[in-house]
Amino acid sequence: MSTHPNRMSQSAQAGVPDGAENVASATATGDVCGELATGGEREALARRIRELGEWFHNMNLRGEWTAPGHFLGDFPNVKWKHIAPAIPADLAGASVLDIGCNGGFYSIQMKRRGAGHVLGIDVDERYLSQARFAAETVGLDIEFRNCSVYDVDQLAGQFDYVIFMGVLYHLRYPLYALDKVVKKVGSRLIFQTMIRGSEETREWEKNYHFWNKEIFQNAEFPRMFFIEHSYANDYTNWWIPNRAAAEAMLRSAGLEILAHPESETWICEPRNATRDGQYVLDLELAGKL
């Protein structure tokens, strides 16, 4: 996809609930993953965690935290605890694709719920190494692979659950990527993006005449903010939608929004992803949309 590794990964400002910036000094409280390590085993575990570089996913691996000084505290668990109730507790046999898997937190959570084949993809080898280590440490069989979101439609088959969190706003071509992701969704898409601007929504007309400029002055109208240079010291932040634009893009891609468990996350189902047997992306590229 891109040469910059962070574009496939949940970045340091990856959609944390309001006020979370004040939890930098908080002690992480997420579930312990795996049986507690003791003595020399724990020392070796801590050393290996450090050797794998800086972690963005703060996980408790057998009693050792991967990012104990994380400025967001207990992240991603601080976000997951709001999303988890919207996902079945029993995922027995379900297939899962985690796009932009980073250190593997979400892949691990889905596997712990009994999912069958779980595939996490990212373009950052450091994060993939961390994810593989985390899964192995807690005894979970999860596949991690280097793959771009722009190549996701080349993966075989569909997945019951597709996780697409913390990635969209890092993409120079976000709707193109979303249209590709939709092709892989067999049942549910768990989607998250950073939101800026208005978080209010309302019903809009299906069409407006050419001279109606007033709608574009309304903060609630769907809009995307383009970042030419950098935002939050991250030049991979390209496009950031307001809530209305995020939801409009999901609908435009043929998804129906089923739940909105927290301010920046939606659970969706592909209801109108194809037209006459063809996906939206294919129709667009063929000039038939």
Handedness of CA 172, 176, 178, 184 (dihedral sign): negative
Residue 37's pLDDT is what?
Answer: 84
| Residue (of 190, 184, 22) closest to 106 by Cα position | 190
Query: Mind listing the pLDDT tens digit for each residue in 5-29?
Result: 344 444 444 444 443 433 333 344 4
Q: Kindly state the DSSP code that residue 16 receives in the 8-state scheme.
A: P
Compute the CA torsion angle 51, 54, 60, 64 (nearest 10 deg): 40
Instruction: Please state the pTM of the whole predicted model.
Output: 0.89
Dump pLDDT digits (tens) for 136-176.
Answer: 999 999 999 999 999 999 999 999 999 999 999 999 999 99
Cα–Cα distance for residue pair 127/129, rounded to 1 Å: 5
| Integer CA distances (angstroms), 85 to 66, 161, 260, 289, in order | 25, 15, 11, 37
Provide the pLDDT for residue 127.
97
Strand partners, 163: 98, 190
Instruction: Work out the widest C-alpha separation in the chain, in whole angstroms.
Output: 73
Q: What is the DSSP letter of 113?
A: T
CA distance 275 to 289: 9
Q: Tokens 């297939």, residue?
A: 95
Q: For 166-206, what is each residue's pLDDT tens digit?
A: 999 999 999 999 999 999 999 999 999 999 999 999 999 99
pLDDT average, residue stretch 118-122 = 98
